[in-house]
Structures are given as C-alpha cells and as structure tokens.
Amino acid sequence: MSPLLLLRCPRLLSAVAMSVLLATSCFPNFSVASRERAASQEERFQAAMQAQLDGDPAAARRIYEEMILDNPTNSLVRFQLGTLLLDSLNDPYEAMGEFRAYLRLAPTAEKAEMAKASLLTARNRIAQSFGPETIQSGAGAERFHALEERLAELETAYTNLQATHTAVVAERDAARADAARLLRELQSARRHLDALLNNPMPSAPSSPSSVSATAATPAAPATQNLRTYQVRRGDTLYRIAQRVYGDAARNRDIREANPDKVGPNDELREGDVLVLPY
C-alpha cells in the first residue's frame, strides 16, 4: 500500500495504524512499536505529516531532518523521511541512506520488510538512471557499487559525528556543573570571611616563652581580653546581639558591659566602640 494513499485517506490511515498497534502487541517487536507510537504523537511529527498532506514535501523534509538531528535513533522518522524522499522528492540516493538507517535501528520490526522493499526500489531507480547500455557494459554497476561504498562511509562519518556531539554536550554539561559548584563554594567562602571580619575570633593563648617575656609588664585592663564592635548606622543592641551571639536576648550583657556607651533608652552613637563579653 502506497504511503501517499494513506496520507490522502485519513480514515484508512487510522484503520491501518490501529491494526499495526494490535499486531505489534503480540510480537517481540512491541518495544520498537511503542517507541514509534510515541514518536508519532510528537508535535513536530504531526506538523511534518500535515505538510505532506498540504503538498509541501520540502517543509516536511526540513522538520524530519531537524528531528533526526535531535535524535538520530528515531526509527519512525528515518522511515518516514525515506518514504518522502523516494515517493515525493524523487531522491533515491538520500532515501537509501534513511532506509538503511532504519534497518540498523529496527532490523526485525514490522516495517523492516517495507524498508527492504523501498531500499530495493531506490537501488533500481539509481541503476536505471545510468541507462541500459551503461548497465549492460558493467560500468554502471561499478559506479553504483562505488556510490554504495561512499554512502556507507558517509553514514559511518555521520554516526561518529553524532557520538562526538554527544560527548561534547556531556563535557559542556559537566563543565557547567563544576562552574556552579565553584560559584557556591566561592559564595560560601565570602560569607565566612564576612563573618570573621565582623566577629573577630579571640587571640590565641600566649606560649610559655611569651608569658615569661611579658611577666614584668603591667597587667592590661580586663576589657583587653574582650571583643569589641564599632557601632554602625542603624545598629541596635538587639541587632548586635543577634548578629554576634545569634541570640537577641544577650543585649543585656552588652548593655551591662558598656554603661557609658549605651543611653537611657538603649541609644547608640555611630562610631562608638562597644565591648562584647563572651
């Protein structure tokens, strides 16, 4: 049955599609049929089929080729593009490539026999294009086989390019993931540095040698061992306590340690240095 006849008869196309679905459910090729059934529901595939119905095979070809670039293993699209090239665009060379690709992807599928028959048709058309005399002399056959070998080389190169493309995309995604991870680490390091600058850690205990060296020096005021904080605009005791201790209730400790710096209503003056007890 000609694919063009199916395209011109939507009811017939639906009946054939239903019979194919019922038949494939009873055979081991069900997984291939499932994938092709899912592919047939894609929006772009439906648009390509509509373009064929509207008599615009060039537009349909562009859509099919875009789908193949996105997914070279889409067997349904390979088969449909091969049929379009052979029946509507009279391009048996390109059609051969698509049917051969289909047979590699789904060698035992139900459409495999149709693909083999279409492949033979494409070969016959190519052979006839050389003319009877050329074919009989043998030169046409040699050129035909040379073209087949070239086609096989191009298909292998295409497959290799697809593999390279996949690898490059994977490397790109990995590089993006690494960049995102490094950015998170950088942001975390910046937050940690800001915390250290706003809340300096107490100095390390003096070593025994330093103790002996400073034993004769006068004792420093008790506040020398306490942290300090310079008041900034908008600061309150509650905000400082929350920032420093993580507990706003410790504003009382700050108030008691700075009786001369805290006003009657807990007013603070910008630029004053407060003592922060541990």
pLDDT tens-digit profile of 39-88? 999 999 999 999 999 999 999 999 999 999 999 999 999 999 999 999 99
Sign of the dihedral defined by the CA atoms of residues 168, 174, 177, 178, in that order: negative
Give SS3 for 274.
strand
What does pTM read for this prediction?
0.45
Q: What percent of the chain has pLDDT over 90?
A: 41
Residue 70 CA neighbour count, 13 Å, CB half: 11
Give mean pLDDT, residues 251-276: 90
pLDDT digit string, tens, across residues 192-240: 787 777 775 555 555 555 444 444 444 444 444 568 899 999 899 989 9
Q: What band does 17 get if pLDDT is binned at 50, 70 and 90?
A: very low
Q: How many CB atoms lie within 10 A of CB 64?
A: 26
